[in-house]
Structure 1
C-alpha cells in the first residue's frame, strides 16, 4: 500500500453514532431504504446536503478529480488523456442518480467498442435519471447484496454505499465482483473511514462507518489484495465542520 498519509475528509459528519465491535449487526435494510426514499433525487441529496453548506459547494468536483487521479495511476483514463487505457465495461455499485456514472465513469469508456457502464441501485427514483443516458448499459434496481454479475468488467467502482451492507454481505458482494473481473480488471472501494479506527453505527440512515482494520479483514475474506490505498485529498473544512476521512482502496485477486 502507498500514500497512506492522514487527511480529514468527507460525507458523513461524526454525529450521534454508536461505536463498538459488531456495529453492522444493527443495520436494517428496511430502515436504510426508507431513509433514501425520503431523500431528493439530486446531487445535494446524494451527498447528504454537504454541497449546500457554505464553503462546501465544490465537494463533488473535488471528489471526482481525486478519483480520476487515482485511476490514472493504474493507466486508466479518458480519451482526452493520451496514453491512458479505456474500459469496455464498468460496473458502478450504489450509483444513486449517476453523479459518478456521468461525472467520471462514462468518460473512461472505449466508445469505439460501444463501452457501457452498468449500475446497481435499489432506489428506483434515482435510477430513473439514468435510463437511456449515453454510455449507460444495464440498470439493476436492487441492492448490492442481491446483484449477480452477468458480464465481465474492466473496472468495478463502489462508493459511499457499502455501509448499508453487513460485513458478511460486503465480503460476498466483493467475491461476486472478483468473479466478474476481466483478466486485468480492478475493483475500487471508496468510503468514509472512522477517525479512531473503530466501527460506528449511524441510526439515522442505518449504516456503518468502518475502520481500516475491518475493511482489511473483509477484503481478505473476499480473497482480494489491496494493491493501492490513498486518502482523498483537498476536501474543504471550516472552523466548525470537517468531513470524515475518505479512503480509496484498489483491489485485485
Structure 2
C-alpha cells in the first residue's frame, strides 16, 4: 500500500525492552518494542479485509484523475522501466521470462499492469481471498496462494525467473522477512532468477510503525542489512520518480532493488 509521510509518523525514541529487574513482573509496553516487532499479522489482515477490492483502496485512496489513479500509472511505468534496465521486457533486445511470482498481489494491479506483459505465467500470493477473485480465471495466472507471505511455500519443483514484491514486506517482522527471502531464493531459477523488492523507504533516521494497518516502513540501510542476512546481493537499485512531493499528498520515497543470491 502506498503511504503518506508526515511529521506525526515519526515516533518518539524509546528504549527497547524493560529493565532487568522488572522483566519477570511487567509486560513490555508495545510502544517500547522495535517497530518491526509491533507488526501484528492478524491486525494487518483485518485492516485489508475491510478494504474495497479495487486499485484505489490498494493505493491508500490516493486521488483519481479522470477516473484513473495517477500514482498507479506512474508506478507501473517506473516498474516497467526498472525491469527494462534488467533486460526484461517485450521490446526488441529485451527478454521475456517464463515463470513469475508476485508476493502481496492485492487485486493484481502489478500482475495485470506489468508482469503478464513479460511472463508466460504468473503465480500470486495474497492472503485476502476477495482481492484475488478476478484473478482466478485470468489468462496467464497459473496459481493463486491465499496465504500470508510468512506462510507461503512453493510447490515442489517450481522455479521462478522473477519474484516481485511491492508494498507488502512491511507486514512482516525482520525475522519473517529474512525467512521469506530465503524461501524465495530457494525457488529461484538458478540461471538468471531475480527477486525485486519495491517498497516505501523511511528517511526519518529510524524505521516507522503504522498503527492503522500494523506495518513498518524501513530505512534503506535496514533493507540492505536484511538482504545480506538472507544471503542476497543487490545487483541494481533505483528510486521511483514522478510521485507527488508537496503536502498534503507527499508520499514516502519508493525504492526498487533487484536481488540475486550472494556468491557462496
Contact 2:64 2:70 (C-alpha < 8 Å) held by counterparts: no
1:214 is aligned to 2:214: no
Select 1:14's aligned residue among 5, 8, 11.
5
Residue 212 of structure 1 deviates from its aligned partner by: 1.0
Task: Return closer, same or farther for 1:239/1:214 CA change in 2, 3 Å cut-off.
Answer: closer
Contact 1:13 1:242 (C-alpha < 8 Å) held by counterparts: yes
Aligned ranges 1:1-253 → 2 under 5 Å: 11-15=2-6, 16-17=8-9, 19=11, 22-52=34-64, 57-78=69-90, 81-109=91-119, 115-150=120-155, 151-182=158-189, 183-253=191-261
Return the alpha-carbon distance in structure 1 between the equivalents of residues 245 and 50 of structure 2.
27
Return the alpha-carbon distance in structure 1 between the equivalents of residues 51 and 126 of structure 2.
14
Q: Secondary structure at the match of 1:30?
A: helix
Return the alpha-carbon distance in structure 1 between the equivalents of residues 205 and 110 of structure 2.
27
Residue 191 of structure 1 deviates from its aligned partner by: 0.2
The structure whose Rg is larger is 2
Q: Secondary structure at the match of 1:157?
A: strand
Gaps of 5+ in 1: 1-9, 110-114
Return the alpha-carbon distance in structure 2 between the equivalents of residues 167 and 201 of structure 1.
13
Task: Return closer, same or farther for 1:91/1:39 CA change in 2, 3 Å cut-off.
Answer: same
Q: Give TM-score, length-normalised by structure 1.
A: 0.89
Residue 241 of structure 1 deviates from its aligned partner by: 2.5
Return the alpha-carbon distance in structure 2 between the equivalents of residues 158 and 228 of structure 1.
15
Q: Secondary structure at the match of 2:192?
A: strand
Return the alpha-carbon distance in structure 2 between the equivalents of residues 240 and 12 of structure 1.
12
Residue 37 of structure 1 deviates from its aligned partner by: 0.5
Highest relative contact order (Cα 8 Å, sep 6+), 1 or 2?
Answer: 1
Q: Secondary structure at the match of 1:247?
A: strand
Contact 2:202 2:219 (C-alpha < 8 Å) held by counterparts: yes
Return the alpha-carbon distance in structure 1 between the equivalents of residues 256 and 247 of structure 2.
26
Contact 1:94 1:121 (C-alpha < 8 Å) held by counterparts: yes
Return the alpha-carbon distance in structure 2 between the equivalents of residues 216 and 240 of structure 1.
30
Q: Secondary structure at the match of 1:88?
A: strand
Gaps of 5+ in 2: 14-32
Residue 224 of structure 1 deviates from its aligned partner by: 0.3
How many residues get paired?
A: 237
